[in-house]
């Protein structure tokens, strides 16, 4: 496939690298004023969960090819901090066309997404993370990727995407509704970020994440906070019964769920690394603000979450 990755962020660079290694033609679109516009090569430090559940360390080089055409089989767009809506305008302004795989935190309603992208997009969500410092991409990637179901995707046929990810040895997981799943994922992230930031510093994400993962008391508080943020999502009309698999662990008594989570973080190197590598403070604040504003507007009782967010956003 001919793939265009919008930008050169962590997620785009990680999957762009994987697509290219699988034999696909991959280019990146970067605005002329972007500080990354001159980058032609990234050193890759990858913890690869496709090979082994614990991850296999891979060191490689990714040669970054820049946008050279106007049509692509796939446009892969992963934009943080609610910036997804600007992607459609950029593509129109640049005259670039193709099926869009939009994998970003979206707190907007479905109608807003469809208004921007029409009928040629599908929602997804990466199961990967990391950071880029200078010309080095440090990342980890799991063996699956979240993708909207065909009947709920705007595009009629997802066969090309199945083939693309299959060529990279990545399985596709299809939640009941991709947009609702994204809302729930943002709710869980907001709760975890708020509690970690309350007890640490959102400016030092790695240390705050470590402190949370190593403390049963903080994890218990995170579970209680997740219940509050999930209630905010439910108030938007989401039927939580459709997401039992995603939410069962947070419904257990905290005296049971917190030690289980602590053990998981201690033993799961991949999950622990992805928690410590996520350092986009603006994105973390954005997620917290989305849930906070909606919860207040909907009148949801979430005192633990609101208090933690107020500490984080004012910190």
Residues with pLDDT less than 70, the chain: 150-157, 279, 315
Task: Determine contact, residues 89/19, Cβ cutoff 8 Å.
Answer: no
Q: What is the pLDDT of residue 206?
A: 87
pLDDT 10s digits, 111-136:
999 898 877 899 999 999 999 999 99
- 213-226: burial string, b at 16+ Cβ within 10 Å, e else: bebbebbbbbbbbb
pLDDT for 268: 87
Task: Report the CATH number of the 2-174 domain.
Answer: 3.40.50.720
The three-state secondary structure class of 36 is coil
Structure confidence at residue 68 (pLDDT): 95
Of the candidates 127, 79, 290, the residue with the CA atom closest to the CA atom of residue 193: 290
Residues in the chain: 315
Q: 223 by DSSP, 3-state: which?
A: helix
Residue ranges per structural domain of the chain:
2-174, 179-314
């Amino acid at each position: 496939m001919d793939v265009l990755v919008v930008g050169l962020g962590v997620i785009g660079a990680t999957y762009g690298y994987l697509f290219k290694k699988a034999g696909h033609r991959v280019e990146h679109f970067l605005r002329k004023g972007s500080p990354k516009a001159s980058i032609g090569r990234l050193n890759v430090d990858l913890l690869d969960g496709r090979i082994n559940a614990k991850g296999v360390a891979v060191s490689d080089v990714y040669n970054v090819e820049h946008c050279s055409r106007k049509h692509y089989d796939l446009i892969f767009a992963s934009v943080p901090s609610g910036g997804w809506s600007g992607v459609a305008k950029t593509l129109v302004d640049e005259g670039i066309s193709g099926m869009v795989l939009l994998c970003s935190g979206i707190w907007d309603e479905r109608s807003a997404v469809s208004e921007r992208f029409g009928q040629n997009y599908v929602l997804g969500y990466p199961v990967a993370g990391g950071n880029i410092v200078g010309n080095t991409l440090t990342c980890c990637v799991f063996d699956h990727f979240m993708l909207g179901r065909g009947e709920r995707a705007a595009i009629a046929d997802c066969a090309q995407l199945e083939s693309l990810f299959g060529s990279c040895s990545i399985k596709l997981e299809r939640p009941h509704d991709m947009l609702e799943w994204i809302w729930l994922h943002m709710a869980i992230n907001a709760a975890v970020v708020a509690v970690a930031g309350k007890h640490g510093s959102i400016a030092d994400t790695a240390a705050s994440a470590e402190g949370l993962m190593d403390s049963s008391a903080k994890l218990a508080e995170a579970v209680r906070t997740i219940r509050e943020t999930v209630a905010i999502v439910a108030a938007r009309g989401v039927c939580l019964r459709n997401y039992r698999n995603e939410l069962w662990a947070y419904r257990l008594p905290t005296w049971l769920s917190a030690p289980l989570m602590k053990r998981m973080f201690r033993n799961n190197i991949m999950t622990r690394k992805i928690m410590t590598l996520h350092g986009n403070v603006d994105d973390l604040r954005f997620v917290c603000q989305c849930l906070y504003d909606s919860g207040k507007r909907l009148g949801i009782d979430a005192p633990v979450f609101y208090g933690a967010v107020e500490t984080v956003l004012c910190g």
